[in-house]
Amino acid sequence: MKRSRVAIVEPSCPVDHPDRGLQCQLALEPAFQQLAERAAESGWTEDEIAYALLELAGSRLKSNSANRETERAIDRARATR
């Protein structure tokens, strides 16, 4: 089965712009919807899909936070040399 690749629009505003988060959501929505549809076509329920996506998003947030903390610790260690 051939899968189409959904394009994700690049941001058009700076990182600190107040609408950047909303712009990211709008850019990701088509790919997100396609992923959910593909999962449903594979036999997963809507609730299972939603829960799995929430868990994956939470794990990504935790990982990003841990990575930032590690980078800060490395920067502090380098600064004390």
CA quadruple 6, 10, 15, 21: dihedral positive or negative?
negative
Residue 16, pLDDT > 70, answer yes
Summarize the confidence of residues 56-79 as an average pLDDT.
Answer: 96
User: Over the stretch 27-44, which tens digit does the pLDDT of each residue have?
Assistant: 999 999 999 999 999 999
- The reported pLDDT for the residue numbered 5 is 85
Per residue, the 3-state secondary structure of the chain, as one string, reads CCCCCCCCCCCCCCCCCCCHHHHHHHHHHHHHHHHHHHHHHCCCCHHHHHHHHHHHHHHHHHHHHHHHHHHHHHHHHHHCC
Residue 2 scores a pLDDT above 80: no
Instruction: Please count the residues of the chain.
Output: 81
pLDDT digits (tens, 9 = 90+) for 41-65: 999 999 999 999 999 999 999 999 9
Mean pLDDT of the chain: 95
